[in-house]
Amino acid sequence: MQSKTEAIIISSINLGEADKLVTFFSLDRGMLKGVAKNARKSFKRFGAGLESFTLVRAHLYEREHQELARIESVDIIEQHASIGSDLGRAASGAVMLELVRELSPLGERNAQAFLLLSHILHLLDEGEGPLFLLNIFKIKFLSLLGYQPKLDHCLSCGSQPKGEMVFLGMKGGILCPACMVSSGEPQVTLSPGAVGFYYQALRMEMDKISRLKPSNSIVRELDRAFSDHTFHILGKRLKSTEFLKAVLPPAGR
């Protein structure tokens, strides 16, 4: 069965002598994997269209009960070339792609998540702040996949956050200082400013998102909370966050 869909290339690795195994996030069918036959030789059918971050129209051929599609050819819609040429943008984008790959179920359509990634990569390519965009992406993407943390009230007593709250990654929620029994471990805290920014960003339309100007400390707070949250969702750390820390260390944020 032949089909075509808009897709964002997550990764492509060499397969055998001439082929590539491509992982991509598609508008119509969510995460998919496919083989691009002869991709390393046929510039005409693929060109630079299998590079990570590229938005393409992919022409597919699929057979029932086969996990891998065949990618017949791709047309580049947006190359997003400046993401790969800047370390900070590349590192931030790599975390986004890893989150998509780890959290999106294979073959399950999520058009809103696709449009979000496409929009964020466009802004990243245009030079908008990489850490700001990564935060926005995490806030909206986790919510679209059903992993939205609950930050509007204490998980235990239900009180609304007035001062600093403690974030519990394992529960994806917050506790007020009165309910928190300290274990002596370092805590991830969220200020009212960070919680306020979270809900503002969650509700704001993507075409207005650049109006938001969070302080560095809010970006850092949310970054720590989300790292903790995704660690508990995935049961492991994202590999690409090491690269991000090396390129954009917290002190410089």
Q: Which residues bind Zn ion (CB under 5 A)?
A: 154, 156-157, 176, 179
Site of tokens 């058009």? 111
Residue 243 has a CB neighbour count (10 Å cut-off) of 17
User: Closer to Zn ion at the Cβ: 49 or 149?
Assistant: 149
Q: Closer to Zn ion at the Cβ: 10 or 154?
A: 154
Smallest gap from residue 64 Cβ to Zn ion (A): 53
- Pick the closest to residue 93 from 23, 172, 9 (CA basis): 9
- Residue 155, both tokens: 């998980």
At CA 43, angle to CA 82 and CA 120, rounded to 5?
A: 30
Which is nearer to Zn ion, 156 or 227 (by Cβ)? 156
Please identify, using beta-carbon distances, which residue of 179 and 212 lies nearer to Zn ion. 179
Nearest distance from residue 162's CB to Zn ion, in Å? 11
Smallest distance, Å, CB 158 to Zn ion?
7
Closest approach of Cβ 74 to Zn ion, in Å? 52
Mapped onto helix, strand or coil, the DSSP state of residue 240 is: helix
With beta carbons less than 8 A apart as the criterion, state whether 155 and 171 touch: yes
Rounded CA gap, 181 and 192, in Å?
A: 20
**Which residue, chain included where needed, has tokens 């996949």?**
145
Question: Least Å distance between CB 157 and Zn ion?
Answer: 3
- Residue 174 CB, shortest distance to Zn ion, in Å, is 9
Nearest to Zn ion of 1, 178 (CB atom): 178
Q: Which is nearer to Zn ion, 79 or 156 (CB)?
A: 156
